Amino acid sequence: MIDEIIRKGTVSAKELRQLENAYHAPEGCVRILDATFVLPGSPEKPQENFNAHRIPGARFFDIEKIADPASLLPHTVPTKDVFEAGLSALGINPEDLVVLYGQHGMTMGPCRVWWTFRLFGHDRVCVLDGGLPEWIRQAGRLETEPPLPCAPSQYRVKKVRNELLVKRDDVAAAMESGLCPILDARPRARFEGNAAEPRPGMLSGHIPGSLCMPASELVDPETGTLKLDEELKNLLLQTGFDPDHPDARKTITTCGSGITACVIALALFRQGFDKIAVYDGSWAEWGQENSGNKIACGT
């Protein structure tokens, strides 16, 4: 079961309950991380929510803190040293199976951290399908007492998959060539330039030639779980994405700040595309006022 979970990138609440009860093998433990992220201006306080109730044994992965401290962009992918220090403080070992969940589902945070783990070569990682709401619906237990401190580890990265990360110049080259699909996970109104960005100082619109694939459309509206493989395939086809095109495996995903872009990356991972790159700076970099980047509006 473990290999299948890793292959598809997600674990159901039912499967996690089985792992919670049975999987404490010598080759690694199940480590559950709350990877919730909220947009700027949100009244939600993920750390406080985590302290109040969580999946038993869970630890909190702070996307804002386990990030590159030198970057001027929000929650930029951490350096190798920062990633190692963050996972060591959480007591994670390279052989552990890491399960990531979100307090409100799976789109805001967990997929981003899943991608980050894979970037740093940790393949034993998956996202709880539907997040905490689905766990509760499936009668999963919760802890409500204050979280206990965890014993630190000495986590070391064995390899870095640089092909999973692209920067502005890579995106500009892909835009100009038109050969590499660029999929944007932001809501359609923001993509078309009809809604303001949540961060100040940002223009509206999208990268010319990019395709609109809102992350919210990839999950079931009732359960919050990732849609079935055939549904995902059809959604991607409707955007104009051709999975059979030779350059489909070079696809770049983008969003507001590199969070929901990883939902598309996970959906494509489920379709067999395991080297999809994420534009880490995303619109927080591309759409800055006076950036000089080309911007399109409309469909």
For 84-105, how does the pLDDT look when each residue is reduced to its tens digit (9 = 90+)? 999 999 999 999 999 999 999 9
Q: Looking at the structure, do residues 102 and 169 belong to the same domain, yes or no?
A: no
**Cα–Cα distance for residue pair 97/60, rounded to 1 Å:** 16
Terminal Cα-to-Cα distance of the chain (whole angstroms): 42
Cα–Cα distances in angstroms (integers) from residue 101 to residues 32, 159, 214, 266, 280, in the given order: 8, 24, 20, 14, 21
Domain assignment present for residue 292? The answer is no
Q: Looking at the structure, do residues 101 and 194 belong to the same domain, yes or no?
A: no
Q: Which two tokens stand for residue 186?
A: 């932001």
Q: Looking at the structure, do residues 142 and 199 belong to the same domain, yes or no?
A: no
Domain assignment present for residue 144? The answer is yes
Domain count, the chain: 2
What does the radius of gyration of the chain's CA atoms come to, in whole angstroms? Answer: 18
Domain assignment present for residue 101? The answer is yes
**Cα–Cα distance for residue pair 267/279, rounded to 1 Å:** 16
Nearest to 111 by CA among 195, 209, 185: 185
Domain assignment present for residue 293? The answer is no
Q: Is the per-residue pLDDT at 170 higher than 60?
A: yes
Q: Looking at the structure, do residues 190 and 267 belong to the same domain, yes or no?
A: yes
Q: Looking at the structure, do residues 145 and 264 belong to the same domain, yes or no?
A: no
Domain assignment present for residue 142? The answer is yes
Q: Looking at the structure, do residues 96 and 190 belong to the same domain, yes or no?
A: no
Q: Looking at the structure, do residues 7 and 59 belong to the same domain, yes or no?
A: yes
Q: Looking at the structure, do residues 253 and 151 belong to the same domain, yes or no?
A: no
Of 112, 145, 160, the residue at which a domain comes to its end is 160
Of 160, 192, 222, the residue at which a domain comes to its end is 160
> What is the residue range of 250's domain?
163-286
For 50-89, how does the pLDDT look when each residue is reduced to its tens digit (9 = 90+)? 999 999 999 999 999 999 999 999 999 999 999 999 999 9
Over residues 31-48, the mean pLDDT reads: 94
Q: Which of 29, 212, 255, 262 is catalytic?
A: 255
Domain assignment present for residue 243? The answer is yes
Of 102, 127, 160, the residue at which a domain comes to its end is 160
For 119-164, how does the pLDDT look when each residue is reduced to its tens digit (9 = 90+)? 999 999 999 999 999 999 999 999 999 999 999 999 999 999 999 9
Helix crossing, 261-270 with 110-119: angle to 10°?
A: 70
Q: What is the pLDDT of residue 179?
A: 83
Q: Looking at the structure, do residues 156 and 21 belong to the same domain, yes or no?
A: yes
Supply the pTM of this predicted model: 0.96
Concerning whether 111 is annotated as a catalytic residue, the answer is: no
The dihedrals phi and psi of 128, each to the nearest 5 degrees, come to -70, 115
The CATH number of residue 29's host domain is 3.40.250.10
Q: Looking at the structure, do residues 140 and 201 belong to the same domain, yes or no?
A: no
Q: Looking at the structure, do residues 172 and 127 belong to the same domain, yes or no?
A: no
